[in-house]
Protein backbone atom coordinates (compact mmCIF):
# COMPACT_ATOMS: atom_id res chain seq x y z
CA UNK A 1 0.00 0.00 0.00
CA UNK A 2 1.58 3.27 -1.10
CA UNK A 3 1.93 6.16 1.32
CA UNK A 4 -0.21 8.44 -0.90
CA UNK A 5 -3.03 5.90 -0.58
CA UNK A 6 -2.62 5.87 3.19
CA UNK A 7 -2.90 9.69 3.32
CA UNK A 8 -5.96 9.67 1.04
CA UNK A 9 -7.65 7.02 3.15
CA UNK A 10 -6.76 8.83 6.38
CA UNK A 11 -8.32 12.07 5.11
CA UNK A 12 -11.41 10.18 3.97
CA UNK A 13 -11.76 8.50 7.37
CA UNK A 14 -11.39 11.77 9.27
CA UNK A 15 -13.91 13.53 7.06
CA UNK A 16 -16.61 10.96 7.83
CA UNK A 17 -17.21 12.43 11.29
CA UNK A 18 -16.44 16.13 10.85
CA UNK A 19 -17.67 17.22 14.30
CA UNK A 20 -15.46 14.71 16.10
CA UNK A 21 -12.46 15.69 13.97
CA UNK A 22 -13.08 19.38 14.62
CA UNK A 23 -13.35 18.91 18.38
CA UNK A 24 -10.20 16.77 18.38
CA UNK A 25 -8.17 19.53 16.72
CA UNK A 26 -9.67 22.37 18.80
CA UNK A 27 -7.26 21.90 21.70
CA UNK A 28 -4.27 22.04 19.33
CA UNK A 29 -5.68 25.15 17.62
CA UNK A 30 -6.12 26.96 20.94
CA UNK A 31 -2.73 25.86 22.25
CA UNK A 32 -0.69 26.78 19.16
CA UNK A 33 -2.58 30.07 18.71
CA UNK A 34 -2.04 31.02 22.36
CA UNK A 35 1.68 30.21 22.29
CA UNK A 36 2.28 32.28 19.13
CA UNK A 37 0.21 35.22 20.40
CA UNK A 38 1.93 35.25 23.79
CA UNK A 39 5.41 34.86 22.29
CA UNK A 40 4.61 37.77 19.96
CA UNK A 41 3.41 39.89 22.88
CA UNK A 42 6.55 39.12 24.88
CA UNK A 43 8.86 39.89 21.96
CA UNK A 44 7.01 43.13 21.21
CA UNK A 45 7.29 44.18 24.86
CA UNK A 46 11.00 43.39 24.91
CA UNK A 47 11.57 45.31 21.66
CA UNK A 48 9.66 48.32 23.00
CA UNK A 49 11.64 48.35 26.26
CA UNK A 50 14.92 48.03 24.38
CA UNK A 51 13.96 50.90 22.09
CA UNK A 52 12.99 53.10 25.04
CA UNK A 53 16.23 52.42 26.91
CA UNK A 54 18.36 53.05 23.82
CA UNK A 55 16.45 56.27 23.10
CA UNK A 56 17.66 57.68 26.43
CA UNK A 57 21.17 58.00 25.03
CA UNK A 58 23.93 56.09 23.29
CA UNK A 59 26.89 54.56 25.15
CA UNK A 60 25.28 55.79 28.36
CA UNK A 61 26.61 55.22 31.87
CA UNK A 62 24.55 56.25 34.88
CA UNK A 63 26.00 56.95 38.32
CA UNK A 64 23.60 56.93 41.25
CA UNK A 65 24.19 57.20 44.99
CA UNK A 66 23.69 53.88 46.74
CA UNK A 67 25.09 50.40 46.26
CA UNK A 68 25.07 47.59 43.74
CA UNK A 69 27.58 45.05 42.50
CA UNK A 70 29.12 46.01 39.17
CA UNK A 71 31.90 44.86 36.86
CA UNK A 72 35.23 46.27 37.95
CA UNK A 73 33.92 48.27 40.91
CA UNK A 74 31.59 46.76 43.45
CA UNK A 75 29.31 48.94 45.51
CA UNK A 76 28.29 48.36 49.09
CA UNK A 77 25.92 50.00 51.51
CA UNK A 78 26.03 53.78 51.41
CA UNK A 79 24.02 56.99 51.61
CA UNK A 80 21.67 58.42 49.06
CA UNK A 81 23.18 61.93 48.92
CA UNK A 82 26.79 61.12 48.13
CA UNK A 83 27.10 62.60 44.62
CA UNK A 84 27.82 66.29 44.16
CA UNK A 85 28.35 68.74 41.33
CA UNK A 86 32.06 68.72 42.21
CA UNK A 87 32.13 64.96 41.49
CA UNK A 88 30.70 65.61 38.02
CA UNK A 89 33.23 68.40 37.38
CA UNK A 90 36.07 66.15 38.54
CA UNK A 91 35.02 63.43 36.08
CA UNK A 92 34.85 65.88 33.17
CA UNK A 93 38.24 67.48 33.93
CA UNK A 94 40.25 64.48 35.12
CA UNK A 95 43.29 63.59 33.02
CA UNK A 96 43.01 59.99 34.18
CA UNK A 97 39.62 59.47 32.53
CA UNK A 98 40.13 59.03 28.80
CA UNK A 99 36.96 57.17 27.86
CA UNK A 100 34.27 59.77 28.67
CA UNK A 101 33.31 62.57 26.28
CA UNK A 102 30.29 64.17 28.01
CA UNK A 103 29.18 64.49 31.64
CA UNK A 104 25.62 65.43 32.62
CA UNK A 105 24.92 66.18 36.31
CA UNK A 106 21.22 65.83 37.15
CA UNK A 107 18.81 66.24 40.04
CA UNK A 108 15.39 64.54 40.02
CA UNK A 109 12.34 64.81 42.20
CA UNK A 110 8.62 64.30 41.73
CA UNK A 111 6.34 67.13 42.72
CA UNK A 112 3.03 68.79 41.95
CA UNK A 113 2.84 71.13 38.96
CA UNK A 114 -0.13 73.41 38.33
CA UNK A 115 -1.43 75.86 35.79
CA UNK A 116 -4.76 77.61 35.37
CA UNK A 117 -7.35 74.98 36.20
CA UNK A 118 -5.10 71.93 35.75
CA UNK A 119 -2.46 70.08 37.79
CA UNK A 120 -0.30 66.98 37.52
CA UNK A 121 2.28 65.14 39.58
CA UNK A 122 5.36 64.60 37.47
CA UNK A 123 9.13 64.20 37.45
CA UNK A 124 11.19 67.40 37.69
CA UNK A 125 14.74 67.05 36.36
CA UNK A 126 17.34 69.73 36.98
CA UNK A 127 19.77 69.65 34.06
CA UNK A 128 22.57 71.46 32.29
CA UNK A 129 22.70 72.17 28.58
CA UNK A 130 24.70 68.98 27.86
CA UNK A 131 21.71 66.87 28.94
CA UNK A 132 20.14 67.44 25.51
CA UNK A 133 23.07 65.76 23.75
CA UNK A 134 23.75 62.99 26.25
CA UNK A 135 20.12 61.81 26.33
CA UNK A 136 19.29 62.40 22.65
CA UNK A 137 16.63 65.02 23.39
CA UNK A 138 14.81 66.47 20.39
CA UNK A 139 12.56 69.50 20.58
CA UNK A 140 9.23 69.93 18.83
CA UNK A 141 8.89 73.56 19.96
CA UNK A 142 11.18 76.25 21.40
CA UNK A 143 14.64 75.72 22.88
CA UNK A 144 16.31 73.63 25.55
CA UNK A 145 18.00 74.79 28.76
CA UNK A 146 21.13 76.89 28.04
CA UNK A 147 24.26 77.74 29.99
CA UNK A 148 22.89 81.25 30.40
CA UNK A 149 19.84 79.79 32.15
CA UNK A 150 22.18 77.79 34.40
CA UNK A 151 24.35 80.77 35.29
CA UNK A 152 21.45 83.09 36.06
CA UNK A 153 19.33 80.42 37.80
CA UNK A 154 16.46 81.28 35.46
CA UNK A 155 12.94 80.08 36.20
CA UNK A 156 12.40 78.54 32.78
CA UNK A 157 11.25 75.08 31.90
CA UNK A 158 11.05 72.60 29.04
CA UNK A 159 8.01 70.31 29.10
CA UNK A 160 7.51 66.76 27.89
CA UNK A 161 4.53 66.30 25.54
CA UNK A 162 2.55 64.32 28.14
CA UNK A 163 2.88 67.21 30.60
CA UNK A 164 1.70 69.63 27.92
CA UNK A 165 -1.41 67.50 27.36
CA UNK A 166 -2.07 67.27 31.11
CA UNK A 167 -1.65 70.99 31.81
CA UNK A 168 -2.72 72.74 28.62
CA UNK A 169 -4.66 70.18 26.59
CA UNK A 170 -3.84 68.56 23.26
CA UNK A 171 -2.77 70.47 20.15
CA UNK A 172 -1.83 73.61 22.08
CA UNK A 173 1.43 75.54 22.28
CA UNK A 174 2.55 76.31 25.84
CA UNK A 175 5.52 78.48 24.81
CA UNK A 176 5.67 81.66 26.89
CA UNK A 177 2.99 80.46 29.27
CA UNK A 178 3.51 79.90 33.00
CA UNK A 179 3.44 76.83 35.23
CA UNK A 180 3.84 76.69 39.00
CA UNK A 181 6.24 74.14 40.48
CA UNK A 182 6.23 73.89 44.30
CA UNK A 183 4.84 77.41 44.49
CA UNK A 184 7.43 78.92 42.09
CA UNK A 185 6.37 80.36 38.73
CA UNK A 186 8.27 79.14 35.66
CA UNK A 187 8.03 80.20 32.03
CA UNK A 188 7.80 77.50 29.37
CA UNK A 189 10.56 77.86 26.77
CA UNK A 190 10.39 74.52 24.97
CA UNK A 191 8.60 71.21 24.39
CA UNK A 192 10.42 67.95 23.72
CA UNK A 193 9.51 65.57 20.91
CA UNK A 194 7.68 62.44 21.97
CA UNK A 195 9.77 59.40 22.88
CA UNK A 196 7.08 57.32 24.51
CA UNK A 197 7.56 55.14 27.52
CA UNK A 198 5.82 53.59 30.48
CA UNK A 199 6.49 51.97 33.82
CA UNK A 200 9.15 53.46 36.06
CA UNK A 201 10.10 56.19 33.60
CA UNK A 202 8.12 57.90 30.87
CA UNK A 203 10.37 60.23 28.88
CA UNK A 204 7.30 62.24 27.81
CA UNK A 205 6.07 62.84 31.37
CA UNK A 206 8.92 65.04 32.65
CA UNK A 207 9.76 68.70 33.17
CA UNK A 208 13.30 70.01 32.68
CA UNK A 209 14.57 73.06 34.56
CA UNK A 210 18.08 74.51 35.07
CA UNK A 211 20.11 72.43 37.55
CA UNK A 212 21.09 75.49 39.62
CA UNK A 213 17.44 76.55 39.85
CA UNK A 214 16.41 73.08 41.02
CA UNK A 215 19.14 72.88 43.66
CA UNK A 216 19.26 76.43 45.02
CA UNK A 217 15.74 77.79 44.56
CA UNK A 218 13.26 74.95 44.21
CA UNK A 219 14.48 72.11 46.45
CA UNK A 220 17.35 73.59 48.51
CA UNK A 221 19.86 70.77 48.02
CA UNK A 222 23.56 70.56 47.17
CA UNK A 223 23.71 66.94 45.98
CA UNK A 224 22.86 65.18 42.72
CA UNK A 225 20.43 62.37 42.01
CA UNK A 226 22.33 61.15 38.96
CA UNK A 227 25.44 61.76 36.89
CA UNK A 228 24.98 60.58 33.30
CA UNK A 229 28.11 59.87 31.29
CA UNK A 230 28.52 59.39 27.55
CA UNK A 231 31.36 57.04 26.71
CA UNK A 232 33.38 57.64 23.55
CA UNK A 233 32.35 54.25 22.14
CA UNK A 234 30.52 51.08 23.11
CA UNK A 235 33.88 49.31 23.46
CA UNK A 236 34.91 51.79 26.17
CA UNK A 237 31.95 51.15 28.46
CA UNK A 238 33.59 48.71 30.89
CA UNK A 239 36.84 50.66 31.02
CA UNK A 240 34.88 53.87 31.60
CA UNK A 241 33.07 52.25 34.52
CA UNK A 242 36.38 51.31 36.10
CA UNK A 243 38.06 54.69 35.52
CA UNK A 244 35.13 56.67 36.88
CA UNK A 245 34.59 54.22 39.74
CA UNK A 246 38.12 54.46 41.05
CA UNK A 247 38.16 58.26 40.67
CA UNK A 248 35.03 58.55 42.82
CA UNK A 249 36.43 56.12 45.37
CA UNK A 250 39.45 58.37 45.75
CA UNK A 251 37.30 61.51 45.97
CA UNK A 252 35.09 59.92 48.64
CA UNK A 253 38.13 58.72 50.63
CA UNK A 254 37.27 55.06 50.24
CA UNK A 255 40.06 52.53 49.90
CA UNK A 256 37.91 49.43 49.58
CA UNK A 257 35.84 49.17 46.36
CA UNK A 258 33.34 46.96 48.19
CA UNK A 259 32.45 49.99 50.36
CA UNK A 260 31.58 52.27 47.42
CA UNK A 261 28.71 54.67 48.19
CA UNK A 262 27.62 54.86 44.57
CA UNK A 263 26.67 52.51 41.74
CA UNK A 264 27.52 52.71 38.06
CA UNK A 265 25.19 51.13 35.54
CA UNK A 266 25.44 50.95 31.78
CA UNK A 267 22.81 50.32 29.13
CA UNK A 268 23.86 46.70 28.80
CA UNK A 269 23.10 46.12 32.49
CA UNK A 270 19.67 47.71 32.16
CA UNK A 271 18.90 45.92 28.89
CA UNK A 272 19.97 42.56 30.32
CA UNK A 273 17.79 43.07 33.39
CA UNK A 274 14.81 44.14 31.31
CA UNK A 275 15.33 41.29 28.82
CA UNK A 276 15.60 38.77 31.64
CA UNK A 277 12.38 40.02 33.24
CA UNK A 278 10.39 40.04 29.99
CA UNK A 279 11.89 36.69 28.98
CA UNK A 280 10.76 35.07 32.23
CA UNK A 281 7.31 36.63 31.85
CA UNK A 282 6.99 35.39 28.27
CA UNK A 283 8.19 31.91 29.24
CA UNK A 284 5.65 31.78 32.06
CA UNK A 285 2.78 32.78 29.79
CA UNK A 286 3.92 30.38 27.08
CA UNK A 287 4.15 27.58 29.65
CA UNK A 288 0.56 28.24 30.69
CA UNK A 289 -0.53 28.23 27.03
CA UNK A 290 1.41 25.01 26.45
CA UNK A 291 -0.83 23.25 28.97
CA UNK A 292 -3.66 23.50 26.44
CA UNK A 293 -1.38 21.74 23.94
CA UNK A 294 -0.99 18.88 26.38
CA UNK A 295 -4.75 18.75 26.88
CA UNK A 296 -5.25 18.87 23.11
CA UNK A 297 -2.81 15.99 22.63
CA UNK A 298 -4.62 13.89 25.22
CA UNK A 299 -7.89 14.72 23.45
CA UNK A 300 -6.49 13.46 20.15
CA UNK A 301 -5.28 10.26 21.79
CA UNK A 302 -8.72 9.67 23.28
CA UNK A 303 -10.39 10.23 19.90
CA UNK A 304 -7.94 7.85 18.21
CA UNK A 305 -8.57 5.19 20.87
CA UNK A 306 -12.31 5.51 20.25
CA UNK A 307 -11.64 5.22 16.52
CA UNK A 308 -9.61 2.05 17.06
CA UNK A 309 -12.48 0.57 19.06
CA UNK A 310 -15.05 1.48 16.42
CA UNK A 311 -12.92 0.07 13.59
CA UNK A 312 -11.85 -3.14 15.33
CA UNK A 313 -13.62 -5.41 12.83
CA UNK A 314 -12.15 -3.40 9.92
CA UNK A 315 -8.67 -3.82 11.38
CA UNK A 316 -9.23 -7.56 11.83
CA UNK A 317 -10.39 -7.90 8.22
CA UNK A 318 -7.32 -6.05 6.92
CA UNK A 319 -4.94 -8.20 8.93
CA UNK A 320 -6.76 -11.34 7.84
CA UNK A 321 -6.22 -10.26 4.22
CA UNK A 322 -2.49 -9.88 4.86
CA UNK A 323 -2.03 -6.28 6.07
CA UNK A 324 1.15 -6.02 8.09
CA UNK A 325 1.43 -4.36 11.50
CA UNK A 326 3.53 -1.61 9.89
CA UNK A 327 0.69 -0.66 7.53
CA UNK A 328 -1.91 -0.53 10.32
CA UNK A 329 0.41 1.51 12.57
CA UNK A 330 1.18 3.93 9.75
CA UNK A 331 -2.53 4.31 8.94
CA UNK A 332 -3.56 5.42 12.44
CA UNK A 333 -0.39 7.41 13.04
CA UNK A 334 -1.02 9.29 9.78
CA UNK A 335 -4.55 10.17 10.90
CA UNK A 336 -3.21 11.51 14.22
CA UNK A 337 -0.51 13.61 12.52
CA UNK A 338 -3.02 15.04 10.03
CA UNK A 339 -5.21 16.11 12.95
CA UNK A 340 -2.37 17.86 14.76
CA UNK A 341 -0.88 19.44 11.61
CA UNK A 342 -4.27 20.80 10.59
CA UNK A 343 -4.84 22.14 14.09
CA UNK A 344 -1.32 23.58 14.14
CA UNK A 345 -1.79 25.37 10.81
CA UNK A 346 -5.11 26.87 11.90
CA UNK A 347 -3.58 27.78 15.27
CA UNK A 348 -0.70 29.59 13.58
CA UNK A 349 -3.11 31.67 11.50
CA UNK A 350 -5.25 32.48 14.54
CA UNK A 351 -2.14 33.31 16.60
CA UNK A 352 -0.84 35.73 13.96
CA UNK A 353 -4.24 37.41 13.61
CA UNK A 354 -4.62 37.65 17.41
CA UNK A 355 -1.12 39.16 17.71
CA UNK A 356 -1.96 41.76 15.07
CA UNK A 357 -5.22 42.69 16.83
CA UNK A 358 -3.48 42.95 20.22
CA UNK A 359 -0.76 45.19 18.74
CA UNK A 360 -3.40 47.50 17.28
CA UNK A 361 -5.45 47.64 20.48
CA UNK A 362 -2.40 48.34 22.67
CA UNK A 363 -0.53 50.51 20.12
CA UNK A 364 2.47 48.22 20.48
CA UNK A 365 4.82 46.65 17.97
CA UNK A 366 3.64 43.75 15.82
CA UNK A 367 6.38 41.14 16.09
CA UNK A 368 6.14 37.60 14.73
CA UNK A 369 9.29 35.53 14.94
CA UNK A 370 9.81 32.85 12.25
CA UNK A 371 11.25 30.68 15.00
CA UNK A 372 7.90 30.70 16.84
CA UNK A 373 6.12 29.50 13.68
CA UNK A 374 8.73 26.78 13.15
CA UNK A 375 8.33 25.80 16.81
CA UNK A 376 4.57 25.51 16.29
CA UNK A 377 5.04 23.10 13.38
CA UNK A 378 7.54 21.01 15.32
CA UNK A 379 5.27 20.88 18.37
CA UNK A 380 2.34 19.84 16.16
CA UNK A 381 4.38 17.01 14.65
CA UNK A 382 5.65 15.90 18.05
CA UNK A 383 2.15 15.82 19.55
CA UNK A 384 0.80 13.90 16.56
CA UNK A 385 3.50 11.24 16.86
CA UNK A 386 3.53 11.11 20.68
CA UNK A 387 -0.21 10.85 21.25
CA UNK A 388 -0.96 8.89 18.09
CA UNK A 389 1.61 6.19 18.67
CA UNK A 390 -0.20 4.32 21.43
CA UNK A 391 -3.58 4.04 19.61
CA UNK A 392 -1.74 3.05 16.42
CA UNK A 393 0.20 0.34 18.26
CA UNK A 394 -2.95 -0.89 19.94
CA UNK A 395 -4.65 -1.23 16.55
CA UNK A 396 -1.65 -2.97 14.99
CA UNK A 397 -1.41 -5.51 17.84
CA UNK A 398 -5.00 -6.70 17.53
CA UNK A 399 -5.29 -10.39 16.67
CA UNK A 400 -7.25 -10.89 13.40
CA UNK A 401 -9.56 -13.61 14.78
CA UNK A 402 -10.40 -11.68 17.96
CA UNK A 403 -10.91 -8.48 15.97
CA UNK A 404 -13.30 -10.16 13.53
CA UNK A 405 -15.34 -11.55 16.43
CA UNK A 406 -15.56 -8.09 18.10
CA UNK A 407 -19.12 -6.74 18.45
Q: What tens digit of pLDDT does each residue of 344-356 get?
A: 888 889 888 988 8
pTM (predicted TM-score): 0.62
**Mean predicted confidence (pLDDT) in 159-169:** 92
Check if the beta carbon of residue 43 is closer than 8 Å to that of residue 360: no
**Mean predicted confidence (pLDDT) in 63-86:** 63
At residue 75, the pLDDT reads 42
Confidence of residue 78 (pLDDT cuts 50, 70, 90): very low
Where is pLDDT greater, at 177 or 324? Answer: 177
Q: What tens digit of pLDDT does each residue of 30-43 get?
A: 888 888 887 888 77
| Collapsed DSSP state (helix, strand, coil) of residue 363 | coil
At residue 216, the pLDDT reads 93
| Collapsed DSSP state (helix, strand, coil) of residue 404 | helix
Where is pLDDT greater, at 352 or 329? Answer: 352
Sign of CA dihedral 195, 198, 203, 208: positive
* pLDDT score of 76 more than 50: no
Q: What tens digit of pLDDT does each residue of 360-390 get?
A: 887 777 878 787 778 777 777 777 777 777 7
At residue 310, the pLDDT reads 66
Check if the beta carbon of residue 99 is closer than 8 Å to that of residue 232: yes
At residue 194, the pLDDT reads 87
* pLDDT score of 278 more than 60: yes
Q: Cα separation of 185 and 154, whole Å? A: 11
Amino acid sequence: MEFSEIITEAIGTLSVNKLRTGLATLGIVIGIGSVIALLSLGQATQAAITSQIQSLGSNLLTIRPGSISQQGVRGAAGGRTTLTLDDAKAISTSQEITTIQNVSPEFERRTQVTTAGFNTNTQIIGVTSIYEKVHNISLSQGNFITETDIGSMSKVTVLGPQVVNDLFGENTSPLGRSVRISGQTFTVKGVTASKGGSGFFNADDVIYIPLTTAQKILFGTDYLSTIALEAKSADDMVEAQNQVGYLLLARHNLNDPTQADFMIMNQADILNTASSATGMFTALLSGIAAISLLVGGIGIMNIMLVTVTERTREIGLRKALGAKKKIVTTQFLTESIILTFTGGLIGIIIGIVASFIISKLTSSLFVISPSSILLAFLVSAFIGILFGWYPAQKAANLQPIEALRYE
